[in-house]
Chains A and B, each alone.
Chain A
Amino acid sequence: MYDMKALYQAKDVADAVALRMAHPEAQIIAGGSDVLVQMREGKRAGVELISIQGLNELRGVSLEDDGTLRIGSLTSFSHITRDPLIQKYINVLGEAVDQVGGPQIRNIGTIGGNTCNGVTSADSASTLHAYDAIVELTGPDGVRRQPIHDFYIKAGKVDIREGEIQTAILIPKESYENTFGHYIKYAMRNAMDIATLGTSVNVRLSADKKTVERARVAFGVAGPVPLRAATAEAVAAGKAVSMELAEAFSQAVKEDINPRDSWRAAKDFRMHIAVESAKRAFIESVKLAGGAL
């Protein structure tokens, strides 16, 4: 038995918004792999829950008319990894969420929950930042769209306002078109572990594959929230593809990140693996894009 005061089960998105307005103190629960575990730990003992688990309209991946990739917030990690649209346009996201927890957790956990709990180590977060994802929130006044960078306010805190629930994650066509990416999770174990550092890089090369038109890199656990490394991105933009560029790009990430000491790893060690992961992910991304270096 879970220690909860009440459970409100939403029938559809409008009902979920109405429940949010009626019970502002209640915790939203999607897949349950975070909220139920926290309740078991006693952190949310006696809480009221609004369950959105039954909202099947929030499951699945689709392509909107303008080419935006739409990922319903309740789509599970395993369904994202197996989805043909994800595999075609943003395979790196499928690979990243295939490293969350273990197989059963990937069937339970949702991308909406992974972003709404606001933790920097979320395996989806760095890739979503590196692709300038947009978070769609539905509330009493309709739909609000917000860049994921602004959605994360601080560790454990995201910008979900009164009456809102997150309904989708959107990847703009401009972000994924002709773009190839690679994610590296550094953790102590291969399964059932939280990232010591997560690194997601993506590149777009020129038609002749000789020049980096655009490179993007984002980290999880390199700061209190997932963050981009703008200096490194500027270093790579417009430059010729080479091993020297991979080195310069990866060294530049040190200008942008501010990891902390924690019991998982020391700051210096996180700095070291950030540089090394950025380099390896950059090289892999260039190769995926058809470049040689």
Chain B
Amino acid sequence: MEKHVTQVQTVHFNLNGKDVERTVDVRASLTDMLRNDFRMTSVKKGCEVGECGACNVLIDGEAFNSCIYLAVWAEGKKIRTLEGLLGPNGELSDIQQAFVDEAAIQCGFCTPGFILTAVEILESGKEYTDAELRKLLSGHLCRCTGYENILRAVKKTMYKRLGKPMPEN
């Protein structure tokens, strides 16, 4: 049998505002590297085929399912996980607090993925309709909440950041 030689590569990237480097197995997904090498356990292993959104992270400001992204592709990228949203003393960000306030969480497994998509939505600085928000959030599966509370948490934070009152339904 052919002897298998492990192929490794050193990647340099920015993780939650800090420049880091790691030598990784080229077979690793970005989820593998973030969890195993950096202990970013908010990045969940769900379906591992890009369907559930539990492993979602922001790469250069855009939401990506890190399970179907090779770790070595992180070279030169700015990557953000839920851990990066906390304040210097562990304070929750506005969108995390909104998820708590609206009971948009139950088991919590989908929450980090949802929140990072919400961050991409909020950072666009745009005002979206409910239909648009539903579409923008559609890449995540939640088996507990029924989505309505999640939608409300994102919507509430969107209006708060835009400095506008949230319209009554």
Q: Decide whether A and B are members of one complex.
A: yes
A positions within 8 Å CB-CB of B: 1-4, 6-7, 9, 32-33, 36-37, 40-41, 51, 53-54, 78, 101-105, 107-108, 190-192
Complex contacts, A54 vs chain B, CB 8 Å: 73, 75
CB neighbours of A6 from chain B (8 A): 7, 26
Q: How many A-B contacts at CB < 8 Å in the complex?
A: 86
- Across chains A and B, which 9 residue pairs bring their CB atoms closest together, nearest first? A102-B139, A191-B138, A7-B26, A103-B139, A1-B27, A36-B68, A107-B62, A104-B139, A104-B65
Known: A40-B48, A103-B63, A108-B50. A2 touches B27 (CB 8 A): yes
* A-B residue pairs in contact (CB < 8 Å), sample of 25: A1-B28, A1-B29, A2-B28, A4-B26, A6-B7, A7-B26, A7-B72, A33-B68, A36-B29, A37-B68, A40-B48, A53-B70, A53-B73, A54-B75, A78-B62, A103-B117, A103-B136, A104-B63, A104-B65, A104-B139, A105-B139, A108-B64, A108-B65, A108-B68, A191-B135
In the complex formed, the residue of A with least CB distance to B51 is: A192
Is the pair A51, B50 in contact by a Cβ cutoff of 8 Å? no
Give, as a whole number of angstroms, the nearest-CB distance from A30 to chain B: 11
Contact status of A104 and B117, CB under 8 A, knowing A40-B49, A190-B138, A191-B139: yes
Chain A residues whose C-beta falls within 8 Å of the C-beta of B42 in the assembled complex: none
CB-nearest residue of chain A to B62: A107
Does B70 contact A190, Cβ atoms closer than 8 Å? no
Are A4 and B27 within 8 A (Cβ)? yes
A7-B136 contact, Cβ under 8 Å, with A33-B68, A54-B73: no
Q: How far is the CA of A263 from the CA of B56 in the complex (A)?
A: 31
Indicate if the CB atoms of B50 and A3 lie closer than 8 Å: no
| Shortest CB distance B143–A (Å) | 15
Q: How far is the CA of A276 from the CA of B49 in the complex (A)?
A: 34
A240 to B56, CA, bound (A): 51
Q: How far is the CA of A147 from the CA of B116 in the complex (A)?
A: 40
Nearest chain A CB to B30's CB is how many angstroms away? 10
> With A2-B70, A108-B69 given, can you name 12 additional A-B contacts, CB distance below 8 Å?
A1-B28, A6-B26, A7-B27, A7-B70, A36-B50, A51-B73, A53-B70, A103-B117, A104-B53, A104-B139, A105-B50, A191-B135
Q: Is the CB of A107 within 8 A of B48?
A: no
